[in-house]
Amino acid sequence: MELSKTELAKEEKRLADTIKVIKDNISSLGKELYQDEEKMLEFKKYMWDAKGGMDGNEISSLMADNDMEINILERKNKYLMRLFRVEKKPYFGRIIFKDEDEENDIYIGITHVEDKLNFYVHDWRSPICSLFYDYELGKASYKTPAGTVSGEITLKRQYKIEDGKLLNVFDNNINIEDEVLQDVLANNSSDKMKNIVNTIQEEQNKVIRNVNDRNLIVQGIAGSGKTSVALHRIAFLLYRIPNLTSNNVLIFSPNSIFSEYISNVLPELGEDNTKETTYNTFLKASLKEFNEIESFASFIERYYKYNVSDVDLVKYKQSDEIVNDITSYVNDLTNEALFKDDLITRDFVYTADELNDMLKNRYSRFPLFLRITSIADKISEINYNSNMSKSKSICKMLFDKLNVDKDYAVIYMNFFKSKYAKIKSNSDINHKFLNYEDACLLVYLKGILEGFNYNTYIKQVVIDEAQDYTKLQYMIIKKIFRNASFTILGDTNQTINPYYKYNSLKDLDTIFDESKYIELTKTYRSSEEIVEYANKILGLDHVSAIRRGVSNPVIMKQEGNLHDDIVNDLNTLKAKSKSVAVICKNDTEVDKIYDLIKNDIKCDVIKSTWQEYKRNLVIIPAYIAKGLEFDSVIIYTSKDNKYKESEKYLYYVAVTRAQHNLIVYNQ
């Protein structure tokens, strides 16, 4: 619907007025911050000069006041940064909502904008703004802390604003045919993931704004915006939950390249980036006694290079069954644990019977190794006034007298030699290098022997690419972050771990109680042709492309003159794409293609060990590309290394990275 000249003039004036208010707020807030900082400097000088004449209570009171001032200062500064970010693009949407009391004219943007008299822009996360995402014109309602407000949406409008100028106005409903959404989907991708705040869809919004369920388990098809949804959910929770900061949130990313790719989204939404880790980093922190731990990507690479010597053993190590087996083994170990000799020093004597009584009775509620440290602490308390150094020394002596080896690697290997092993195979490990499939089991073994190191500071945990974690990995994460709420997102169709696959992510509700399972069923990434081709790989019939318009067919090629064909294809794709990827099955083929074309075309290689994310033209293995997207993709496999039936999920991952153009060699 085209606006009248009068209506358009009103919108242009509203935009100009809003920008002026933002500029005025920036100016006044900048002056306030300058004055506040001057006050802080004066306070520090006062404390330095006067602290000698103050008692502890006075100092504590003044420091508490100062901490409050610092907190206010930080909030002001954060809001100032938001205003700078929205100065030339203050809002993207508008609704008029009539309830029984009044008519609300709501402009929606990244952050709120107001002066002393009027509210010019509402933060997209505020309760009333949910109407923009959840409803078309007509009857609607939204929830507030005070209850549900019902009424009617009489106008729903979107804006395209760039550099402070109103370029276009759309009166329509947010749905799959929405003009703004289609415009966004048709564009080339960027170097970093962008926010989707102006095109959030109803099913995505249900995940983002959910505050009723402690834990969310989200199954989302390729291109459904899982990662974007997760990041917008974080921004929403930071807005909604009192005292929750970005430091209280932890994201588990599949790899460091992916972390780099998503690093702009939260800052674009006016929030600080959260803490981030990969499961491999998490493992290293838990197993510091090992020099190197194999990454998940290297583990998968090992499989796709067919370097796994004992497939059955690796499958067993990834199974749910082994958890019960190790637990039973440790229970027996605990029941059979005994001190063999008396503990005798020049300062005290404890008989083996006394030590075993403490082991079996007094501290029986603790895991086995924690019992030993507790006994050592008690002996140190009685004899050395709880000297820490003495406690460590006593603990070492106690372990020497225990009929259980302290080395976790030895216990682990003994487990595989024991009657509990379903697969009779020795699992030799050393402290120099640890295979990925062994690392998780060792963390669990340590946890049930000495107790898990609980983290109570993290309040929200987000796990992306959830399908690539075993149940044991989730059990460990849940134990460590026991006070946290979880948002878990994945797609069972994108499982690349050949040894472990969920029937449904809903199975995780056995670990995460108080959870809600949600499905994202629409794909926004790829063209209709690419989606149709991807569906055939897995036999899917419920996935359809939201992106409409003219697109290119999927091109199938057999290897001829590989050098000339790939170079020509890449040059053609580069001319119409911001990002192009050659996706190979493994890093051997990545090296092959790079060596083939490096003298004729500029490109980058991305492997599991790379930290920096590059997108212009990259050659990348499929298992590293998971979670990323590119305007154009060439999929290459050599004639003698085509994707097998058992590898179809990895092939599906490779195909669904493409947005606009897809060329397939040898498949």
Q: What is the pLDDT of residue 428?
A: 67
Q: What is the mean pLDDT of residues 299-319?
A: 83
Cβ–Cβ < 8 Å for 558, 583: no
Q: How many Cα atoms are found within 13 Å in the side-chain-facing hemisphere of 622?
A: 26
CA distance 605 to 587: 9
Residue-by-residue DSSP string for 505-552: GGGGGGTSSSEEEEEE--B-SS-HHHHHHHHHHHT--S--B---S--P
Identity (one letter) of the amino acid at 280? Answer: N
Is the pLDDT confidence value at 181 over 60?
A: yes
pLDDT greater than 80 at residue 2: no
Question: Measured on CA atoms in the order 489, 493, 495, 500, is the torsion positive or negative?
Answer: positive
Residue 462 CA to residue 232 CA, distance in Å, equals 12
Query: Is 186 in contact with 549 (CB distance < 8 Å)?
Result: yes
Whole-angstrom distance, CA of residue 552 vs CA of residue 558: 19
Edge to edge, the sheet with strand 249-253 lists: 275-278, 249-253, 460-463, 485-490, 215-220, 515-520
For 86-179, strand residue ranges (E) read 93-99, 103-109, 113-114, 119-123, 138-144, 147-162, 165-171
- Which of 175-189, 204-218, 408-422, 629-643 has the least mean pLDDT? 175-189
Using the structure block, give the residue that is written with the tokens 């490779």: 654
| pLDDT higher than threshold 60 for residue 275 | yes
Rounded Cα gap, residues 644 and 117, in angstroms: 66
As given in the structure block, the two tokens for residue 577 are 């794409």
pLDDT of residue 551: 72
Residue 278 pairs in a beta bridge with 253
Closest CA to 106 of 154, 74, 150: 154
**What is the distance between the alpha carbons of residues 526 and 531, in angstroms, rounded to a whole number?**
6
N- to C-terminal Cα separation, the chain:
47
At 462, list the tokens. Answer: 């987000």
Instruction: Compute the distance between CA of residue 235 and CA of residue 242 in angstroms, rounded to an integer.
Output: 13
Contact 134, 78 (CB under 8 A): no
Question: pTM for this one?
Answer: 0.89
pLDDT band at residue 565 using 50, 70 and 90 as cut-offs = very high
Using CA atoms, how far apart are residues 399 and 473, in angstroms rounded to an integer? Answer: 29
pLDDT confidence tier of residue 420, bands split at 50, 70 and 90: low
SS3 (DSSP) at 292: strand
User: Which of the pair, 77 or 151, is modelled with greater confidence?
Assistant: 151
In single-letter form, the type of residue at position 156 comes to K
Confidence check: pLDDT of 247 > 90: yes
Residue 612 has pLDDT above 80, yes or no: no
Q: How confident is the model at residue 1 (pLDDT cuts 50, 70, 90)?
A: low
Question: What average pLDDT does the segment 117-143 reach?
Answer: 94
Residue 481 structure tokens:
């972050």
What gap in Å lies between CA 491 and CA 489, rounded to an integer? 7
Asked if 603 contacts 594 with a C-beta cutoff of 8 angstroms, the reply is: yes
DSSP H or E stretch at residue 487: strand 485-490
CA distance 94 to 159: 8
Write phi, then psi, for 543 (nearest 5 degrees).
Answer: -110, 125
Question: What is the crossing angle of helices 321-336 and 471-480, to 10°?
Answer: 60
**Alpha-carbon 503 to chain mean position:** 22
Q: How far, in Å, CA of 475 to CA of 452, rounded?
A: 11
Percent of the chain predicted with pLDDT > 70 = 89
Angle, in degrees to the nearest 10, between helices 436-450 and 471-480: 40
- The answer on pLDDT for 609 being more than 60 is no
Name every residue whose Cβ is closer than 8 Å to that of residue 92 and which is 6 or more positions away in sequence.
Answer: 108, 109, 158, 159, 161, 197, 198
pLDDT at 125: 96
Phi-psi region of 432 (alpha: psi -120 to 50; beta: other; left: phi over 0): alpha
Between the CA of residue 551 and those of 478, 526, 644, 660, what are the distances in Å? 44, 10, 29, 7
- Residue whose structure tokens are 């493409």: 658
Residue ranges of the alpha helices (H) in 557-659?
Answer: 562-576, 587-597, 622-625, 648-655
Q: Helices marked H in 349-465 — which ranges?
A: 352-357, 368-384, 388-401, 408-417, 436-450
Q: Which of 130-134, 233-237, 285-289 has the lowest mean pLDDT?
A: 285-289
- Average pLDDT rounded to a whole number, residues 439-445: 95
Q: Which two tokens stand for residue 434?
A: 């640890």
The mean pLDDT value of the chain amounts to 88
Kindly report the backbone phi and psi dihedral angles of residue 504, in degrees, each rounded to the nearest multiple of 5, phi listed first.
-155, 145
Closest CA to 660 of 524, 506, 467: 524
pLDDT digits (tens, 9 = 90+) for 392-414: 999 999 999 999 998 898 899 89
What is the tens place of the pLDDT at every residue in 451-496? 999 999 999 999 999 999 999 999 999 999 999 999 999 999 999 9
Q: Distance between CA atoms of 466 and 253, rounded to whole angstroms?
A: 10
Sorting pLDDT into bands at 50, 70 and 90, what band is 176? Answer: very low
| Amino acid symbol at 208 | I
Q: pLDDT band at 537, cuts 50/70/90?
A: very high
d(Cα 219, Cα 467) in Å, to the nearest integer? 9
Distance from C-alpha of 231 to C-alpha of 269, rounded to nearest angstrom = 9
- The answer to whether the CB of 653 falls within 8 A of the CB of 635 is no
Contact 514, 214 (CB under 8 A): yes
Q: How many other β-carbons are positioned within 10 Å of the β-carbon of residue 233?
A: 23
Which of residues 607 and 119 earns the better pLDDT score? 119
pLDDT in the model for residue 58: 60
